[in-house]
């Protein structure tokens, strides 16, 4: 990864569907403390529509490859509101903020980039790209981490996302985690942390 001058002072962790900010909060707290930056893990704005607990960025009831882009588009304004509130509370800017997503959180984070929002970078675990970029991603640092045993979102989705993001100019890396399912295990976490460490160091 080439040297860069971007300064990172906020990490926003974005949970998956049916989960909540509390699930990623321990990881956010630990990594933020180690990196010396603020780290938050907000709740998605909608209640999960398939259980009495949990939150969602968009509904996955009846979701298909054909209707997913429209659902993500419809959720974009509410996603931006959550992210911008966290940025405002931290007293920083989007350009100094890294989005760290898991599953549906990764989908929303990547979509924010491809529709033209500017962040210091994106770390995406176990996700996919809902729609192709409509904005240049020239030099934007992205790391996609995916288990090759993921039965929820196949690793082929991350590979496809990598190609589309790179074609739009992003500096996108990809880490295949052998034997990993749909989650953030120790190996995936280690790779992801290394990426954030470099970003926070301005590398």
Identify the CA nearest to 188 among candidates 106, 92, 111.
106
Give the Cα separation of 203 and 1 in Å (integer): 7
Identify the CA nearest to 117 among candidates 89, 93, 92, 100.
93
Instruction: Indicate if the pLDDT at residue 54 is higher than 80.
Output: yes
Tell me if residue 103 is catalytic: yes
Catalytic, out of 20, 103, 111, 146: 103
The pLDDT score that the predictor gives to residue 27 is 97
Tell me if residue 150 is catalytic: yes
Angle at the Cα of 175 (from 84 to 93), degrees rounded to 5?
15
- pTM for this structure? 0.95
Catalytic, out of 9, 80, 173, 182: 182
Q: What does CATH list as the number for 10-200?
A: 3.40.50.1820
Q: How confident is the model at residue 202 (pLDDT cuts 50, 70, 90)?
A: confident
Domain edges within the chain: 10-200
Q: How confident is the model at residue 203 (pLDDT cuts 50, 70, 90)?
A: confident
Identify the CA nearest to 83 among candidates 55, 51, 108, 46.
108
Give the Cα separation of 192 and 26 in Å (integer): 15
Q: Which long-range contacts (CB under 8 A, 24 or more apart) does 196-199 make?
A: 196/8, 196/11, 196/31, 196/35, 196/98, 196/100, 196/123, 197/35, 198/1, 199/6, 199/8, 199/98, 199/120, 199/121, 199/141
Give the Cα separation of 20 and 63 in Å (integer): 20
Task: Summarize pLDDT for 146-201 with one digit per residue, the tens.
Answer: 999 999 999 999 999 999 999 999 999 999 999 999 999 999 999 999 999 999 98
* Helix 155-167 / helix 104-114 crossing angle, nearest 10 deg: 10
């Amino acid at each position: 990864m080439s040297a860069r001058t971007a300064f990172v002072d906020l990490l926003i962790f974005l949970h998956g569907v049916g989960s909540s900010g509390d699930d990623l909060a321990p990881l956010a707290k630990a990594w933020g403390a180690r990196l010396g930056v603020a780290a938050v893990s907000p709740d998605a704005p909608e209640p999960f529509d398939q259980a009495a607990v949990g939150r969602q960025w968009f509904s996955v009831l009846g979701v298909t490859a054909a209707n997913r882009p429209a659902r993500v588009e419809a959720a974009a304004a509410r996603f931006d509101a959550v992210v911008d509130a966290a940025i405002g509370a931290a007293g920083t800017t989007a350009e100094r903020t890294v989005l760290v997503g898991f599953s549906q959180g990764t989908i929303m984070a990547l979509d924010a980039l491809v529709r033209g929002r500017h962040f210091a970078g994106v770390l995406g675990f176990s996700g996919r790209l809902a729609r192709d970029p409509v904005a240049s991603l020239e030099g934007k640092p992205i790391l996609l981490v995916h288990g090759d045993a993921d039965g929820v979102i196949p690793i082929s989705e991350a590979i496809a996302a990598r190609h589309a993001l790179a074609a739009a100019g992003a500096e996108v890396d990809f880490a295949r985690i052998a034997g990993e399912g749909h989650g953030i295990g120790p190996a995936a976490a280690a790779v992801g942390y290394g990426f954030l460490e470099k970003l926070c160091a301005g590398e």
